[in-house]
Amino acid sequence: MKFMLIMRVTDETLEASKDLDFNEMIAVMGRFNEEMVNAGVMVGGEGLDPQDPGVVVDYSGETPVVTDGPYGETKELFNGFWMLEVASKEEAVEWAKRAPLQGPGSKMEVRRVTEVNEFPQDNEWVQKEKGWREQLGTA
Amino acid sequence: MSGAAETVTARRRVEALWRIESARIVGALARYTGDLALAEDVAQEALAEALVNWPREGIPRDPVAWLLTTGRRRAIDTFRRRSALDDRLPQLDTGPAPERPDDTDDDVLTLMFTACHPVLSREARVALTLRVVGGLTSDEIARAFLVSTATVQARITRAKKSLGAADAGFEAPQADELGSRLASVLSVVYVIFTEGSSASSGGSLIRFDLAGEARRLARVLARLMPGENEVHGLSALLELTSARFPARTDADGEPVLLEDQNRRLWDTSAIRRGRAALRSAERIGRGLGYYGLQAAIAECHAVAPSVAETDWDRIVALYEALGTLAPSPIVELNRAVAVSRDPAEALPLVDAVAEGLPGSHQVAGVRGELLLRLGRTAEARAELERAVSQCGNDRERTVLTRKLATLD
């Protein structure tokens, strides 16, 4: 099964991380990644730019509203993700617990990745999506 | 009631932790005792103790250290008991403690080599590898192979006895035997994969995902032996073959032949990983081996938008290389199938192979297919009927029967 570990941080965590030694931070995260690669479970992952939290498009109203920065009141920011191929949810959680994250509001979300076969195969749009996935290389 | 639920949760956590850490724990204990069988025994005892204690008392802050210490203590007890009977045996309790498994990659590799030791039967190698390297329970192995737990336990017990009888110890192979010992490890991983990939998809929730475990083992090996082209070749082959899994059965669970598969269903990220592994194999500069060549053939299919647009010339060349490296009638047959873009040219090739494969449903199936393309329907029907009667695999028989039905 595939799981996505989604790293979430808050403004406070980001602010605090500015005091940390950059090389040390890279080394700590690198060791975590290496452990998962050595264990043969890591199949992908990306980091999101912490300097530019981007924008949020809110669909609560009739027309989408675009605001700067992370989500609303909580100031929670998705900061990156890992894709793991493991035998159970518990195993994914076990890896998540080893992530070198700390600080108030710093969180990891563990979500199972659905497989394309789980959707109704006779649906025209499901078929189309498979085509897009093929082109994008994101299956 | 919540107590029972918590116990189950804690148990699952311990099992997950064991999956991640067992190879390093058993490896460290095996190096400590110089005896894989003993290490496996005491590691299992430590795990059993953890499964009783941790749900009750909470998981220790350093579970690996706890398991290692407990395993070591059990090993010392065993040595004391043995040395009471025989004073020639070493006293281990004064020796150095097993090291924290931080930099014990060598131990994991030695563990793989020992679990796949040539004195063991193939079945024993597979069971022992899944147990000590994969961290699977006897139950999980039993369900994966559709045999009883008692059978798996007996296999593992016998395997451990054989290792002891052969005085296998716990050592990396010597340079002169590295090639053959590595071949044994790779073939065990490949067997685990094929066993997993032939599993019916409907039962995948109950059956342990052996194909996934084989992919994981191949990736681990690729990290441990980055200079061995066949390790990367195997990893590539498993990824590229797995990429086709989503398309290999239809909505009713019936098998779909490669040529009829919806290529949009192929897992493109698995293809990407497989191709990357294949490039790693090529970069080593010693050419491709048995697994690498098969991976290269799988790659030809993986990158082709359709059957017609497949680079069949390259596939034929790769099969020829494979046939030279590892001559086998099955490889020849596959080469003939690749040539069969021109059925008139392929038929004599298949006939030449047929002598080496008497009574093979595959030969009959391929001949039937070729005759069909040549418009010799009556002969095709006879061959396909023969293939059905000779075929021992339900899935393949279904494909052949359906092909026959289209002739009516």
B87-146 pLDDT, tens per residue? 555 555 555 555 555 556 789 999 999 999 999 999 999 999 999 999 998 988 988 888
- Per-residue model confidence (pLDDT) at position B202: 40
Task: Measure in Å the smallest separation between the Cα of A108 and chain B Cα atoms.
Answer: 17
Whether residue A138 and residue B268 make contact (CB cut-off 8 A), yes or no, is yes
CB contact under 8 A, A39 and B216: yes
Residues of B in contact with A32 (CB under 8 A): none
**Tell me, what's the pLDDT at A137?**
57
Is some CB atom of chain B closer than 8 A to the CB atom of A37? yes
Distance from CA of B370 to the nearest CA of A (A): 32
Asked if residue B282 lies in contact with residue B276, where contact means CB atoms within 8 angstroms, the answer is no
- CA atoms of B127 and B143, how far apart (whole Å): 12
DSSP assignment, residue A114? Answer: P
Question: Given pLDDT bands bounded at 50, 70 and 90, which one contains residue A82?
Answer: very high
Which DSSP category does B259 fall into?
Answer: G
Kindly report the nearest CA distance between residue B15 and chain A, in angstroms: 8
Q: CA-to-CA distance for B340 and B270, rounded, in angstroms?
A: 28
Contact list in B for residue A115 (CB cut-off 8 A) is 246
Question: Under an 8 A CB cutoff, do A87 and B268 touch?
Answer: no
pLDDT band (50, 70, 90) for residue B348: confident
Please, which residues have CB within 8 angstroms of residue A107's CB and are 6 or more apart in sequence? A7, A8, A9, A76, A101
Largest CA distance in chain A: 54
Is residue B391 classed as helix, strand or coil in its secondary structure? Answer: coil
Using a CB-CB distance cutoff of 8 angstroms, which residues of chain B are in contact with residue A93? 13, 16
**Å from B289 to nearest chain A CA?**
22
pLDDT over threshold 80, residue B241:
yes
Residues of chain A found within 8 Å of residue B272, distances taken between Cβ atoms: 137
Say which residue, B90 or B183, is predicted with more confidence: B183
In three-state secondary structure terms, A46 is strand
pLDDT at residue B1 in the model = 42
Q: Which residue in A38, A44, A134 is closest to B223 by CB distance?
A: A38
| pLDDT at site B230 | 97
Assign residue A40 a region (left: φ > 0; alpha: ψ between -120 and 50; beta: otherwise). left
- State residue B262's pLDDT score: 87
CA max distance for chain B: 80
Are the C-beta atoms of residues A23 and A11 closer than 8 Å to each other? no
Q: What is the mean pLDDT of residues B58-84?
A: 89
To the nearest whole Å, the CA of A131 is away from the closest chain B CA by 6
Q: Hey, is the C-beta of B303 within 8 angstroms of any chain A C-beta? A: no
Paired strand residues for A81: A6, A46
Is the minimum CB–CB distance between A120 and chain B shorter than 8 Å? Answer: no
Residues A43 and B219: their CA atoms lie apart, in Å, by 10
Distances (CA, A) of B346 to A71, B338, B350, B375: 64, 8, 6, 14
Residues of chain B in contact with residue A120, where contact means CB-CB under 8 angstroms, are none
Would the pLDDT of B219 be above 50? Answer: yes
Check whether B205 has a pLDDT greater than 50.
Answer: no
Q: Is residue B141 within 8 angstroms of chain A, CB to CB?
A: no
pLDDT at residue B336, rounded to an integer: 83
Query: Would you mind telling me the total number of residues written for chain B in this entry?
Result: 408
B235 pLDDT band (50/70/90 cuts)?
very high
Say yes or no: B263 contacts chain A, CB-CB below 8 A. Answer: yes
Out of B173-182, B314-323, B349-358, least confident range: B349-358
Instruction: Return the higher-pLDDT residue of B4 and A5.
Output: A5
Q: Report the alpha-carbon distance of residue B294 to residue B315 in Å, rounded.
A: 10
Chain B residues near residue A1 by CB distance under 8 angstroms: 209, 212
Q: Is B216 at the interface with chain A, CB within 8 A?
A: yes
Cβ contact B105–A38 (<8 Å): yes
Q: What does DSSP assign to residue B198? A: T
Query: Does B13 touch chain A if contact means CB atoms closer than 8 Å?
Result: yes
Residues 14-33 of A with CB under 8 A from B: none
Domains of chain A: 2-51+77-136 (3.30.70.1060)
Give the pLDDT mean for A82-94: 94
Chain B nearest-CA residue for A88:
B16
> 10 Å Cβ neighbour count for B122?
12
Report whether pLDDT(B198) > 60. yes
- The predicted pLDDT at position B112 comes to 96
User: How confident is the model at residue A70, as a pLDDT?
Assistant: 64
Which of A39 and B83 is assigned the larger pLDDT? A39
> Stretch B68-88: mean pLDDT, rounded?
83
- A139 and B269 within 8 Å at the Cβ level: the answer is yes
Distance between A71 CA and the closest CA of chain B, angstroms: 30
Q: Does B223 touch chain A (CB under 8 A)?
A: yes
How much is the pLDDT for B361? 84
Phi-psi region of B209 (alpha: psi -120 to 50; beta: other; left: phi over 0): beta
Does the pLDDT at position A73 exceed 60?
no
3-state DSSP of B333-366:
HHHHHHHCCCHHHHHHHHHHHHCCCCCCHHHHHH
Across the range B389-397, mean pLDDT stands at 77
- Residue A39: C-alpha distances to residues A55, A86, B182, B374 (Å): 36, 10, 19, 51
Strands of B225-304, DSSP E:
none
Share of chain B above pLDDT 70, in %: 91
Mean pLDDT of B356-367: 82
Q: Is the pLDDT of residue B183 over 90?
A: yes
Locate B341 and state its tokens: 């873009």
User: What whole-number distance in Å separates Cα of residue B108 and Cα of residue B22?
Assistant: 10
Would you call A40 and B17 a contact, using CB atoms and an 8 Å cutoff?
Answer: no
- Residue B204 pLDDT more than 50? no
Residue B165 has pLDDT above 80, yes or no: yes
Q: What pLDDT is recorded for position A121?
A: 67
A139 contacts in B (CB within 8 Å)?
Answer: 266-270
Mean pLDDT of chain B: 87
Q: Which of A4-18, B223-237, B312-326 has the highest mean pLDDT?
A: B223-237
A116–B263 CB contact, under 8 Å:
no
Please report the pLDDT score of residue B101 as a whole number. 52
DSSP conformational letter for B402: H
Q: Does A121 touch chain B (CB under 8 A)?
A: yes
Q: Would you kindly state where each structural domain of chain B is located, as residue ranges?
A: 1-88, 332-408
In angstroms, the separation between the Cα of residue B220 and the nearest Cα of chain A is 5
The confidence score (pLDDT) of residue B224 equals 94
Rounded CA separation B114/A87 (Å): 24
Position A72 scores a pLDDT of: 54
Residue A122 scores a pLDDT above 60: yes
Closest CA to B24 of B296, B317, B220, B168: B220
pLDDT above 50 (res A56) = yes
pTM confidence score: 0.84
Residue B192 CA from chain centroid, whole number: 3
Task: Report d(CA B152, CA B154) in Å as an integer.
Answer: 5
Query: What integer is the mean pLDDT of A32-56?
Result: 89
Which among B223, B246, B270 is the nearest to A37, CB-wise? B223
Rounded distance between C-alpha atoms, residue B119 and residue A113, angstroms: 42
- Judge whether B299 is closer than 8 Å to chain A, CB to CB: no
Confidence of residue B200 (pLDDT cuts 50, 70, 90): very low
Orientation of helix B122-132 relative to helix B149-165, angle to 10°: 100
- Name which residue leads in pLDDT, B282 or B206: B282
Confidence class of residue A58 from pLDDT cuts 50, 70 and 90? confident
Region at B287 (left for phi over 0; alpha for psi -120 to 50; beta for the rest)? left
Kind and range of the H or E run holding B279? helix B268-283
User: With an 8 Å Cβ cutoff, is A109 touching chain B?
Assistant: no
- Burial label for A129, CB within 10 Å (0-12, 13-18, 19+), is middle
A87 contacts B209? CB cut-off 8 A:
yes
Q: Which residues of A touch B13 (CB under 8 A)?
A: 90, 93-94
Rounded CA-CA distance B293/B42 in Å is 41
User: Distances from the Cα of A105 to the Cαs of A33, A130, B4, B100, in angstroms?
Assistant: 22, 37, 31, 32
Fold of B1-88: Rna Polymerase Sigma Factor; Chain: A (1.10.1740)
Topology classification of domain B332-408: 1.25.40
Q: Average the pLDDT over B221-239 and give the result.
A: 96
Higher pLDDT: B315 or B333? It is B315
Sheet strands side by side (includes A42-47) = A42-47, A76-85, A2-10, A107-112
Q: Is the pLDDT of residue B298 over 80?
A: yes
